[in-house]
Structure 1
Amino acid sequence: MGVLDWETVVVTIDLVLGVVWAKRAGRLRERLFEKIVHDLDLGAQARLSIDWATNYGMSILFAWLFGQWPEHLQKLWTIMAAPAIDDAVACIAPVAAEPLRQLRKLCRCITRKSIDNRKSAIDWLMALPETGADLRRRGARIHHSGLHRKLVVLAMLRDGLDLSVVAATERLRPDTIRIWLENGMEHGLEAMVARPVRGRDLSEDQEREIGAWLATIRGRARGHGAWSAEQVQYEIMQRFDIKMTAASALSLLRANTAQSARSWDFGQLEGRCGNIACGIDQVNAGS
């Protein structure tokens, strides 16, 4: 990286914090943390045991990032599905000309071409042998309204409709559809359309085992890095091979974690990157 002035270092850190702590990036953020603990050989459990919003957690992140720059910056940008550098920089408070020039130079490995070439969950869907008509026929045979709707959405996307158009037509959040697609890419179509179970459908042993594990990750229940319902659902499916409804999974997390909010010791993390993260969210929502 060479020698940098302090203002350029601060701007670079602000930019990275805004990308990592963007509200809509919860699922991607966990993938980033998983990559970091793997690269640093910290053990798989470290992803959940480290409180990433603390001084300690952020020190690990930046040690990983600066330890192999710019390769790790490019990995971070890809994993977080972050916008182009100029778009991300536009979300930061006005930056002086020289630090901005230095920042663009530091981040020159992030090009619009590299962003456009990312393999996406849509690529996975379009590569399926099932056509849109096949997915509709399958949906017509299912009497579970939620699964029927999911297959209809997949069929529309498979036919080539834009995700934002499908979301508006079906009155769904675009992020919900993206999570469905990511689950499919990760676990396959069959797991994606499998019927989820409610909390009351779990056996006593299953509920106790899942609850005991959830009790160890209080930091994901509340605060800046809190998991969404879909993220809890995903983590439980990954660990226990049980697909719960998103609402039931979130209820189980809340029931098994302390009621008091976590205390944050990463300086003024919320104040420092909150506005930046909000701006990143807006850029991603429009992309």
Structure 2
Amino acid sequence: MRIKWLPSLLFGVLTLLALLVFTFPFIWMLLASFKTQVQIFSTTQMFVFKPTLKNYIVVFQQNDYVRFLWNSFLVGLGSTVASLLLGLPAAYAIARYRLHAFATVALIAKIIPGITYLVPWYILFSKFHLIDTVTVLIISHMVIGLPLIMWIMIPFFEAFPMEVEESSWIDGSSKFRTFTSIVLPVSLPGIITSSLLAFIFSWNNFMFSLILSGEKTKTLPIAVFNFISASSINWGGLMAVACIIIMPVLIMAMLTQKYVVSGLAAGAVKG
């Protein structure tokens, strides 16, 4: 006699094991942020230990991490908004007029390693005295966000019925108004999904900020080096900073999870 509940049990066990494997590094990071240096390297205090807030106190009192946090947020928000302003009309034009060659160019720009841009960018932006400014970081991070937003939104706009737009034009609406008042609201799941992904990539970007930022515009991924020296690494402070870096995007992802899932699923089906 076949045991009907056995496949469900096996699926549940495998899912739990996979979840444990993927979440264990994050659990360890969170626990380590409340440990001393000795506790972190103690095998007997991996899960049972006396927690301390010293690492977070060091992060915010001895280092200007509020400013680093603000810089990361400002650059991430600015690059995402600028990418949306350029990427949404571009994706709509590509979808409606079948300009897939332009989409390929944008994809190539995304595929090319970022380090390829750094030398000419540094020389160019140095001439305009833009190094160590928020402007240069926003422009550089758009290389990541703009192609991403375009390629996610093109399938949404291609699947939108052309008849709806034509009806709106017959009623006297302009193409711009039709785009902003009809097409964009319907494509909201895709917009939220692409915006969140673009913001996350900008938030976590290390290479562009390392070369193009300075003391005034240092972002969180660069500020991590404050806990790394030639002789030692402050693992507790490092893990505390890592938690601070992850928490904002994790909260955003949880709040917009419904839209992200539906946006990715719809984009996959429409594409």
TM-score range, shorter chain: under 0.3
Q: TM-score, normalised by structure 1?
A: 0.24
Pick the structure with more helix per residue.
2
Q: TM-score, normalised by structure 2?
A: 0.25
Larger CA Rg, structure 1 vs 2 = 2
